[in-house]
Structure 1
Amino acid sequence: MDRPDEQPLFPDLPVIDSAHHLVDRVSDAIAPVLGLRRFLIDDYLDYLGSSHHVIASIATEGLSMYRATGPAELRCVGETEFLNGQAAMAASGLYGPCLVGAGIIAAIDCRRGDWVSRILEHQIAAAPQRLKGFRQSALWDADPSILGGIFDCGESLYRQDEFLRGFAHIARSGYCFDAFVLAPKLSDALFLASRFPDAPIVLNHVGQPIGIGAHGGRLAEEFPQWRRDMAKIAACENVSVKLGGLGSYLLGSSLFRAQPPASSEQMAAQWRPYVETAIDLFGASRCMFESNRPTDDVGGFGTLCNAYKRITAGCSADERRQIFAGTANRIYNLEIEELSRP
């Protein structure tokens, strides 16, 4: 819920939420991460409210609604079918003007090697107009308590030969790949981007700084290394970055699920070093705003969006248009009609 004292900044600025989840009946393993078991189009629209001009969103895979039967490598197609159905509901106009799920980032397991080409075919067929990319998280840390065994990918997934053989099929397809690593493993994202310099890669959650477990209380200490790693990745022109993910449990922040919720000023003060650094390194044309809801849980969308607008207040009007909508529209080839008008 938004704080009653939050008035929208730049209320007419078009916004594309470049990453959020839509899920239903999530597993016991994933539920603690998301904080709920169901988050559908109505829930998302209630979260958005009407204070900011959100014109579209990108629904990202969330390990939900997989098929119960069939070949193991194709069960993830069920989630894409589900997301496409939610997006079709939004496209009817009956839920309002926001094109929820205008783009879909689908799940894929590149460890399937040459079978990835078959997975691609089925995923594309499940959402031929809305599928814009794929994501396979490579979440690992030396402290196993941080992830609690949720992700079974092993260390340095993006360097593994089997993964790289499968990823080559995505690189040839022209679809984007969303790369998700924790900050200590940013070198793996750099390895992947350098290995496939023509593949469009979108780094999730500003490289996901972490402040829990063995990293608790060390955000300031680890910030310089995060910045060095981000600078190396920014030198890869095929990589863009999502500005978000700082409102999840991984940051170890007191803002996470705070009651009462924090103000946008408080959020901006805490997140500014990461967001401003990312914009400085990548430039506005390679940065895109995201809510990462429901994983990011720091209150209402209006407050969260205001926080990012406060951080970017020093940007030019054109830079803000890119960060909040233009970059996502271009990178993911959304072709949102409102953004094509002069």
Structure 2
Amino acid sequence: MTSSNSPHLPIRADWLATRREDILWPELPIIDPHHHLWDRPGSRYLLDELNADISSGHNVAATVFVQSRSMYKQSGEERYRPVGEVEFANGVAACFASGLYGPRRGCAGIVACADLTLGAAVDAVIERLLPAGGGRLRGIRNSTAWHEDAEVRSNPIQPPPGLLADARFQAGAGRLAKYGLSLDVWAYHTQLPEVLQLARACPDVSIIIDHIGGPLGVGPYAGKRDEVFQDWRSGMRSLAALPNIRVKLGGFGMKLTGYRHYQLDTAPSSDMLTADWRPYIETLVELYGTRRCMFESNFPVDKGMYSYHVLWNAYKKICRECSQQEVADLFHDTAQRTYAVDVS
């Protein structure tokens, strides 16, 4: 379950258990480049929960942990408190690397938080994050998804508006190139022009768009899927012209997408998910090519809508007409190139 003030759907294990599918292409190597870990009131997703999901049938070789506001330090300067999250994620990675939990390498890459509005002063924060990550730190993400409508929420704590276009934020983002770190960006489709500004201001930084660029389906966008799709596609097309942009294909399980599979009596099948997601995924593959696209789980956020093994079955069904190399890119190679994940 989740706490009442959480924007995330509750996880109902008994409901998810109503749908079980045979695993498609069980030998296909997968790197899951986007998941979270946390222990919050009414919501726990730690090593055991992650391991249960990535061990549920698909050949998940490794994962990338992404900033979750989890296990921050409770003392010291505010800017350095996210170091605690990196220490925590690196500890989970060490548990997986021991082999005690099987061959999978959970948290083999870490995307941390560092306040990029610090500008050049963010260097001091990064220089503490790097050793805390034990060689696994790969990128930075800040909370930037913002909309004025109260129904459009994906973060328990609402960030300020306009961060992506803030000169201080852009200066801080530009510092990442010095350390070989990428920038993950979670923004709604209404913010894509700001993402474009950011990407142009930081041409030497690899920028990864999370959750397909956030097409909205709630609040003022409820019942306007076709109109939103056109706006979203236009924004993503503009970004595709920039070589430093990559995209994560996923995030469909958030309530703000407007999908209502969680209201079904039984958990959705991969066929249902495939029908909904195909237009977005095929559009992005056409715009960016498979070398700049990668599938993600966004668990446990998306787990309120469908189970892990059904999610990856849906992705595989969408790729039935793809070449062997295109499949390898989408499920493994792009993530490995992007995050330099060690799966040895």
TM-score, normalising length: structure 1: 0.92
Deviation at 1:150, TM superposition (A): 3.9
Aligned to 1:170: 176
Task: Measure, in 2, the Cα distance between the counterparts of 1:149 and 1:304.
Answer: 22
Cα distance in 2 for partners of 1:42, 1:135 equals 25
The yes-or-no answer on 1:227 pairing with 2:233 is yes
Query: 2: CA distance between counterparts of 1:41 and 1:68?
Result: 22
> Residues 121-160 of structure 1 correspond to what in structure 2 (within 5 A)?
121-147=127-153, 150-160=156-166
1:7 to 22, 25, 37: 22
| Residue 64 (structure 1) aligns with | 70
Identity rate of aligned residues, in percent?
38
3-state DSSP of counterpart to 1:144:
coil
Conserved? CA contact 1:133–1:178, under 8 Å:
yes
CA distance in 2, matches of 1:149, 1:105: 17
Cα drift, residue 148 of structure 1 = 8.0
Determine if contact 1:2/1:301 at 8 Å carries over to the other structure: no
CA distance in 2, matches of 1:251, 1:214: 12
- Within the candidate set 114, 118, 123, 1:112 is matched to 118
Partner residue of 2:254?
A: 248
- Distance change >3 Å, CA 148–CA 25, structure 1 → 2: closer
In angstroms, what is the RMSD of aligned CA positions?
Answer: 1.6
Say which is worse superposed, 118-127 or 294-303, in terms of deviation. Answer: 294-303
Residue aligning to 2:204: 198
Distance 1:5 1:180 in 2: 31
* Aligned residue in 2 for 1:32: none
| Structure 2 gap ranges (5+) | 1-15
SS at match of 1:323: helix
Instruction: Give the counterpart letter for 2:134 in structure 1.
Output: P
Asked whether 1:266 is paired with 2:281, we answer no
Q: Give the 3-state SS of the residue equivalent to 1:262 in structure 2.
A: coil
Give, in angstroms, the shift of residue 312 of structure 1. 1.5
Paired residue for 1:284?
A: 290
Q: Which residue of 1 aligns with 2:185?
A: 179
Question: Paired residues, what number?
Answer: 328
- CA drift of 1:137 comes to 2.6
8 Å CA contact 1:203–1:239 kept in 2: the answer is yes
Query: How far off is 1:149 after superposition?
Result: 7.8
Q: Secondary structure at the match of 1:9?
A: coil
Paired amino acid for 1:125: P
1:99 to 102, 105, 109: 105
Q: Secondary structure at the match of 1:241?
A: strand
CA distance in 2, matches of 1:296, 1:211: 15
Mean Cα deviation higher: 326-335 or 150-159? 150-159
Q: Which residue of 1 aligns with 2:331?
A: 324
| C-alpha distance in 1 between matches for 2:18 and 2:103 | 24
Q: Stretches of 4+ moved more than 6 A in 1? A: none
The one-letter code of the counterpart of 1:22 is L
CA 1:171–1:305: 2 relative to 1, 3 Å: same
8 Å CA contact 1:25–1:65 kept in 2: the answer is no
Gaps of 5+ in 1: 27-35, 338-342
User: 8 Å contact 1:179–1:203 — kept in the other structure?
Assistant: yes
Deviation, 1:164, is 1.7
Aligned to 1:237: 243
